[in-house]
Amino acid sequence: MISLKDIKKIYKTKNGELTAVNNVDLDIHQGEIFGIIGYSGAGKSTMIRLLNGLEKPTTGSVTINGQKISAIKGAELRAARQKISMIFQHFNLLWSRTVAENIEFPLEIAGVPKEERKKRVEELIELVGLYGRGNAYPSQLSGGQKQRVGIARALANNPEVLLCDEATSALDPETTDAILDLLLDINKRLGLTIVLITHEMHVIQKICDRVAVMEAGKVVEMGEVLQVFQAPQQKITKRFVSQVSGEDQTKEAIRELNKSYRSGKLIKITFVGEQTSEPVISQMIKRHHIDANIVHGSIQHTQSGPYGTLIVHLEGNVNDVQAAIQFLADSNLQAEVVSND
């Protein structure tokens, strides 16, 4: 659906050349929600401008649905952009127009007849949960409602791709979740390909299928969200994952628990996907005649499935405890001893 091949974007500044995107190769599949995450200066905003044709790559190509966006201009590029919509961090609404008029605006530009415009606007107001607010002005809306208008406006021309540029970073956590739920619903209903640019791992965790982690203009790690949560490879990825995984709290819990337990073993067990619902701990206790006490745990949910950790204190005969740990490994669980007798 979306393919970036050997993309490099270099800006010329008074202090010399600045490489904003450096040798990026990326493929985004039809109908998926793909996240691009990075801190300020990572190059993610440049990436989104390359996707909608606002910037041309210095080298490489950007292809969307078979059309090379990086090689067209003028009327052809304007026509292509009607299929690549965007929502923004600060909404970018027309403050002198009502909700309905804001949503109608791109249809006016596209030359859609008035009656057809009116019908489409009504459909979109219903879709984004703003029924009865069509005659309100942006100043009369909450932040979440404004973003719903932005989403409706972006959907007006039936785009194939929706780009989201930090679309929830100006919203409170509860409103953020509501907007993310709306995007997920739209993705499932319309089969729309969504690309999210963000610096918040919660956004990636909640709705994305896959994620690319950017640092200094490069994609340093990429994969399914669950896979990245389970085994982050790069230091920056580990930082992002720790924002939502509770890893820091787990480490603190292990330090405190090591002070409390003077015998037995503390085991950190990692569960992924369907493993989170299997009675592995009870099976281990029955088979190996040990005492097991769950002393700390957390489960996070992603679109690919849940991911969680448990800290379990094991007491019993040394051989039985070792056999229990081997049982966990044989059950395809990651089991790590985090304290010794």
Indicate whether this model's pTM tops 0.75. yes
- Tell me the torsion sign for CA atoms 96, 98, 102, 107: negative
Lowest-pLDDT range of 3-12, 20-29, 325-334: 325-334
Q: For 44-51, what is the mean pLDDT?
A: 93
Which ranges of 110-261 would DSSP assign to H, the alpha helix?
114-127, 143-155, 173-190, 201-207, 225-230, 235-245, 247-260
**In which band, very low, low, confident or very high, does the pLDDT at 284 lie, cut at 50, 70 and 90?**
confident
328-330-331-337 Cα dihedral, nearest 10 degrees? 20
Whether the Cβ atoms of residue 174 and residue 186 lie closer than 8 Å to each other: no
Q: For 221-227, what is the mean pLDDT?
A: 93
Q: For 10-25, what is the mean pLDDT?
A: 93
Helix and strand tally (H, E) in the chain? 12, 14
Flag whether pLDDT at 340 surpasses 60: no
Residues in the chain, how many?
A: 341
pLDDT at 341: 52
Backbone angles phi, psi at 220, to 5 degrees: -95, -15
Residue 66 gets which letter from DSSP? T
Identify the structural domains of the chain with CATH numbers, from first to last: 2-234 (3.40.50.300), 246-337 (3.30.70.260)
Burial class (CB in 10 A: 0-12, 13-18, 19+), 341: exposed
For 172-184, the pLDDT digits (tens) are: 999 999 999 999 9
pLDDT at 25: 95
**Sheet order of strands, 161-165 included:** 84-88, 161-165, 193-198, 33-37, 210-215, 218-224
pLDDT at 114: 93
**In which band, very low, low, confident or very high, does the pLDDT at 283 lie, cut at 50, 70 and 90?**
confident
Flag whether pLDDT at 151 surpasses 80: yes
- CA gap 316, 13 in Å, rounded: 67
**In which band, very low, low, confident or very high, does the pLDDT at 296 lie, cut at 50, 70 and 90?**
confident
For 155-167, the pLDDT digits (tens) are: 999 999 999 999 9
Structure tokens at 177: 């979740």
Flag whether pLDDT at 328 surpasses 90: no
Closest CA to 109 of 134, 101, 138, 76: 101
Whether the Cβ atoms of residue 35 and residue 53 lie closer than 8 Å to each other: no
Flag whether pLDDT at 144 surpasses 90: yes
Residue 286 gets which letter from DSSP? H
For 80-110, the pLDDT digits (tens) are: 888 999 998 888 999 999 999 999 999 998 8
Greater confidence (253 vs 127) lies with 127
